[in-house]
Amino acid sequence: MTVLLDQATLDHAHRFFAERGSFGREGTAMIASDGETTHLVIPAQHATPVPYCTVEVTHDGKLQLVAELNEGEIYVARIHSHPGLAFHSPTDNANPALTFNGALSIVVPYFGLGLRQGLDACAVLQRRARRWVDLPPGPARDEEVVVR
């Protein structure tokens, strides 16, 4: 399943994560798509600063995620930041926001600053057979994730 992402959505995510990171906090968001266009949904969340760096979507944020989907849209990706390198942590694996085959999990390094370099600086994983499979930068990833 090829996932199409809009550059404007990734730019919005970069601004959000960089702002959170300027306060030493991670952030999380979801990318919604109708198959043609995407947009970022940033739910209400609580984050603890460095050195602990955790982020949790609040109860109101979970309701917001439901309310902000437009007709014909689904969430195709969870995107979140890490304070250092981009990788799928054990916490990320234990708490998948999306569980359908083809869903993406995008981890942005350095409090979101990694998105300045595009997705190649990020860890991108795809859900396959109830597991997260790493999609390293290159032709194979480019077949699964298209940024326009």
- Looking up residue 51, the CATH number of its domain turns out to be 3.40.140.10
pLDDT of residue 47: 95
pTM over 0.75: yes
Domain total for the chain?
Answer: 1
Local structure of 86: helix, strand or coil: coil
**Alpha helix segments (H runs only) across the chain:** 7-21, 59-67, 90-94, 139-144
Would you say 88 and 125 are in contact if contact means Cβ atoms under 8 Å apart?
yes
Q: Distances in Å between the alpha carbon of 76 and those of 10, 18, 19, 21, 50? A: 13, 22, 24, 24, 29
Range of the domain at 84: 3-147
Q: What percent of the chain has pLDDT over 70?
A: 100
Q: What is the pLDDT of residues 20-57, one digit of tens each?
A: 999 999 999 999 999 999 999 999 999 998 888 899 99
Both structure tokens of 117: 């370099």
Q: What percent of the chain has pLDDT over 90?
A: 79
Would you say 77 and 114 are in contact if contact means Cβ atoms under 8 Å apart?
no
If we measure between CA atoms, which residue out of 121, 116, 95 comes closest to residue 106? 121
- Examine the pLDDT at 85 and tell me if it is beyond 90: yes
Can you tell me the distance from the alpha carbon of 124 to that of 131, in angstroms, rounded to the nearest whole number? 13
Mean pLDDT of 128-132: 93
pLDDT of residue 52: 86
- Examine the pLDDT at 19 and tell me if it is beyond 80: yes
Question: Residue 96 — pLDDT band, cuts 50, 70, 90?
Answer: confident
